[in-house]
């Protein structure tokens, strides 16, 4: 299920915002905040669709997001793509549980 008001449910709500806007090796530590986040996919879609250049979003650094955008330049809606993939994953998991 896709959550439109995802920011309220984000795991990073419990941390300081500055922890997600770091450089270098500190980014790997920041990504751990996203690891178990229930709205990680929604957050990532937001960052990709809006080409957000700074910080860790959805478990990806700005460098990782730029590389993904370059690899998939024809994606017009990351939300649509990721929402569909998330729904298919959840459906498969529910069936194969």
Q: Is 87 known to sit in a ligand binding site?
A: no
Q: Is 73 known to sit in a ligand binding site?
A: no
DSSP-assigned letter for residue 75? -
Task: Return the axis-axis angle of helices 62-71 and 40-49, rounded to nearest 10°.
Answer: 70
CB atoms inside a 10 Å sphere around CB 51? 11
Q: Is 74 known to sit in a ligand binding site?
A: no
Q: Is the dihedral of CA 36, 93, 90, 51 positive or negative?
A: positive
Contact 45, 82 (CB under 8 A): yes
Q: Is 46 known to sit in a ligand binding site?
A: no
Annotated binding residues for [4Fe-4S] cluster, as ranges? 12, 34, 37, 43
Residues making up the binding site: 12, 34, 37, 43
């Amino acid at each position: 299920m896709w959550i439109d008001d995802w920011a309220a449910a984000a795991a990073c709500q419990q941390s300081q915002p500055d922890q997600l806007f770091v450089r270098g090796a500190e980014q790997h530590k920041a990504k751990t905040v996203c690891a178990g986040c229930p709205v990680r996919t929604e957050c990532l879609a937001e960052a990709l669709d809006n080409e957000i250049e700074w910080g860790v979003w959805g478990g990806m650094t700005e460098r990782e997001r730029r590389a993904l955008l370059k690899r998939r330049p024809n994606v017009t809606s990351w939300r649509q793509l990721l929402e569909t993939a998330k729904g298919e994953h959840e459906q498969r998991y529910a069936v194969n549980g």
